[in-house]
Amino acid sequence: MSQIIKKFGQIVGSNMEKHPKRSLNLLRFGYAYSGLQMKYFPEKYLLPNQVYSSVVCNRLIRYPLSNPENSAVVNIFFPCELLHAAGIRPEFVEGFAGYLNGACCERYFIDYIENVGMPKTLCSYHKALLGAAFSNVLPKPKFIMFTTMICDANIITFRALADFWKIPLFTVDIPGNSSNDAEAISYVEEQLKQAVTFIEENTNKKFDYKKLKEVIRRENRSTMLYKEYLKELSSKDIPNDVTSEMYKLFFTHILNGSEEAEKYFEMLLDDAKKIEEANGRIRILWCHTLPYWQKSMKEIFNNSEKYQLLCSDMNFDAIMELDEDKPLRSLAAKLLNNHGLGSAERRAGKLLHMAKYLNADGVIYFNHWGCKKTLGGSGITKKILEENGIPVLVLDGDGCDRENVNDGQMTTRLQAFLEILEKRK
């Protein structure tokens, strides 16, 4: 980690309580500067799609910091297609918290919210966002919208934020049994109709379903491009790194259906087609979030000639074509189709399918701190995959909080696992 960034984070943290606007302005400046650096002086090994994604993601995170009146705070699984159609820019928990980590100041916000009573066991992404909001550094958005699916921290976080900011809150309840039958789809579809009404009431604008159809069409084109990319990935060693894979989450979730996302998937496929066939790297499929900030992880995977980071399972959790003539029902079905819903066996089955499809040599199952559903499913997933010939390393860590990891132990276990895969190869 750069000493300059570390010092920057210290300055942000030291001002957050007494001078929150100063901390906010520092973050605005820091992200604007890093955005220019990414655009004009990127790492030489990055592919065009990776440079593009870094610039777009930076811009997405910065926008609500200066334009909160036209933004909404959401979780990563909220159907942001509705917001794109309404011209509202989303700010999502995991993305913003990740950028606080990138500025080396996440711990200050985590400490702040823990000191006012938030439990240490809560997800670190959520604690970072809560700390930024409760310290008055993060500006108040227009409203909050979220789904209850997968992450149990959502209900605590978003209700607390709505109470603190005193702004409207909308919740989409997703059945926890992962059922995607007609009754469940209708149940979620009805809530999405109510979500449209909520957006209309809080923007004082009539919702434009024609624009939503345009969003759905772009998403369908993006989905086809992404499927073609995954087919290319199944037989090629396409350069990847932990940060670029994290950025991909923006496009497979929050930005999906936007013009930026369609361009990204076009570039992703175009770059993939230029790559030659696989040359024998150890192929790793990742499960859950990525500790993109850890130097040890970057040293192992970034621009590696030995190891191929294929994909995170969160980047193929719900890939399906939508019906533009039934957009809300299609979005409801997509939410229910997410492999993170329901039993651990369901997610394990999707992991097994993709591990075979992408010709993975092994799976790293990342137990991010505070994600109880992921932690609880680790044993079952490991058993199912290994019974089907796929080696699994369950790796405990934290995708956001740099002070909540045992880096040496993680590195030792990861290197030992990779050596085992090399011998099997």
pLDDT digits (tens, 9 = 90+) for 307-347: 999 999 999 999 999 999 999 999 999 999 999 999 999 99
Task: Write the CB contacts of 259 (distance below 8 Å, at least 6 apart in sequence).
Answer: 218
* Mean per-residue pLDDT of the chain: 96
Which neighbouring-strand residues pair with 143? 72
Is-contact 97 1, C-beta < 8 A?
no
Write out pLDDT tens, residues 122-148.
999 999 999 999 999 999 999 999 999
Write out pLDDT tens, residues 293-304.
999 999 999 989
CA dist 1 → 8, 10, 75, 111, 402 (Å): 12, 13, 28, 21, 11
Give the chain's end-to-end CA distance (angstroms, integer): 33
Q: CA 70, CA 63: separation in Å to the nearest integer?
A: 9
The domain limits of the chain are 3-424
Instruction: Kindly report whether the global pTM for this prediction surpasses the value 0.85.
Output: yes
Task: Write the CB contacts of 327 (distance below 8 Å, at least 6 apart in sequence).
Answer: 81, 209, 212, 213, 216
Please say if the pLDDT value at position 185 is more than 90.
Answer: yes
Please say if the pLDDT value at position 399 is more than 60.
Answer: yes
Q: CA 242, CA 286: separation in Å to the nearest integer?
A: 10
Please say if the pLDDT value at position 349 is more than 70.
Answer: yes
Write out pLDDT tens, residues 16-58.
999 999 999 999 999 999 999 999 999 999 999 999 999 999 9
Neighbours of 274 (CB within 10 A): 11
Q: What is the mean pLDDT of residues 65-74?
A: 98
pLDDT, residue 206, reads 97
Which neighbouring-strand residues pair with 368? 397
Confidence of residue 179 (pLDDT cuts 50, 70, 90): low
Which neighbouring-strand residues pair with 106? none
Q: CA 55, CA 47: separation in Å to the nearest integer?
A: 13
Please say if the pLDDT value at position 364 is more than 60.
Answer: yes
Q: CA 265, CA 285: separation in Å to the nearest integer?
A: 20
Which neighbouring-strand residues pair with 72? 90, 143
pLDDT, residue 413, reads 96
Task: Write the CB contacts of 174 (distance below 8 Å, at least 6 apart in sequence).
Answer: 147, 148, 149, 188, 335, 336, 341
